[in-house]
Amino acid sequence: MHIDLYSLRYNPLSGGGSHQTLALMLASLVEAGHTVRLITLEASIDAAVAPCPVLVRPCSGGFFAQQRQVAALMRESQADVHLLYGHALLWAGGLYKRGGGTGAAVAYLNNYLPGMGLHRPRALLFVLRRRLWEKTFGAALMRHLDRLYFDSPVTQAVYESYGYHHARALMIPEFVDTKAFAALSRQPAPFIKHPDETHFVYAGRLSTDKGTDLLLQAASLLPRQVKVHIVGTGPMESAARAAANEQVHCYGWQSGDALAAFYQHADVFIHPCRWVEPFGRTIAEALACGAPVLATEGTGAAFVAGSAGMTFKNGDGADLIKKMQTLTDPATRAALAAHAPVRAHELEYRNSARLLLDDLAALSPKK
């Protein structure tokens, strides 16, 4: 098949987890023998490491201009399948199909629409205007797509409650190379451990939506034998560093083997997000390294953790403390950790790739 993927940008080396998923998705399609192109609307600083040609087609206009431009590019292409990566260009596929486009048009959704109001604070008028458009004209365009892919059942449920119910939806987890993390050699411990201590590790953006403040507050109320290790950067990094003491330790951003060392030596990997996390790839990475998980209930983070995780009530500091205390028990941790390798294997990106490849083959007009 000839497959064109469309994304605003592509920065797998310097960007977040969504860019890493896109990189593995591209590689999987290429390895399966398909002709693949990536078309972006912004220049990619990491284009040289892409496994396929990257075509940059800048757009000088705003949101609506982007949708029209991508729909036009789809009409000009001879691709069998057009895959819109992320929510930003979702409606271009609807414009293309509504206009008589014959190639399959699908979208992979791993984040939320601006009108849902779930992102970091935006101007109220902007959110209301986008919500009105998304729930009327946008929803009608969405239904022209051949398939919607969601990275978790939580993401799918949020979209469907918003009116984006698609008869041909399919859940395909984010592409995470859990096998590579599981295969890493044991790294030296990045912190000192004593037998009577329990070490909780968080890795990710430091912000209120990720629950950094909840974690800091909990740490201040727990016994000194409970240690919290915070890896990452973000708006709350200065607050986290200010709170650092014998219980709370901050390390800034880590990657590669350095990050794996935190996963490998964590007694518990903790993800106390306030917002409805769509997925949570750091959780999948931690599972691959054998760590049990404490995550917020009702989020994609809890879905990823599966039977290797324990949950606490969203935003409830008292429940977070209670569950952290529960996990100071080695037997409780061991029971959860026993499920980590199996869950990590289930989340291995090659499983997601097989789901995607099989479905694209069924949708392609050139079966």
CATH number of the domain enclosing 184: 3.40.50.2000
276/158 Cα distance (integer angstroms): 9
Same domain, 122 and 240: no
Same domain, 188 and 208: yes
**Quick one: average pLDDT of 88-110?**
96
Question: Please, are residues 226 and 198 in contact by the beta-carbon 8 Å criterion?
Answer: yes
Question: Please, are residues 229 and 201 in contact by the beta-carbon 8 Å criterion?
Answer: yes
Q: Which amino acid type is present at position 25?
A: M
Same domain, 71 and 187: no
Same domain, 171 and 255: no
Category of 104 on φ-ψ map: left (φ > 0), alpha (ψ -120 to 50) or beta: beta
Question: Please, are residues 305 and 161 in contact by the beta-carbon 8 Å criterion?
Answer: no
Same domain, 142 and 240: no
User: Would you give the distance in Å from CA 356 to the centre of its chain?
Assistant: 17
Q: What is the pLDDT of residues 305-346, one digit of tens each?
A: 999 999 999 999 999 999 999 999 999 999 999 999 999 999
Neighbouring C-beta atoms of residue 365, cutoff 10 Å? 11
86/18 Cα distance (integer angstroms): 8
Domain count, the chain: 2
Question: Please, are residues 101 and 74 in contact by the beta-carbon 8 Å criterion?
Answer: yes
Query: What pTM was computed for the model?
Result: 0.94
Q: Is the pLDDT of residue 367 over 60?
A: no
Model confidence at 72, in pLDDT bands (50, 70, 90)? Answer: very high
Same domain, 151 and 206: no
**Quick one: average pLDDT of 118-146?**
91
Helix segments in the chain, DSSP class H: 17-31, 63-76, 90-98, 124-133, 139-142, 153-161, 178-183, 212-221, 237-242, 256-265, 281-288, 300-305, 317-326, 330-337, 340-346, 349-363
Same domain, 152 and 189: no
Which pLDDT does position 16 carry in this prediction? 80
Model confidence at 124, in pLDDT bands (50, 70, 90)? Answer: confident
What does the mean pLDDT of the chain come to?
Answer: 94
Q: Which residue segment(s) compose the domain that 36 sits in? A: 2-175+348-363
Biggest CA pair distance of the chain:
66
Same domain, 128 and 167: yes
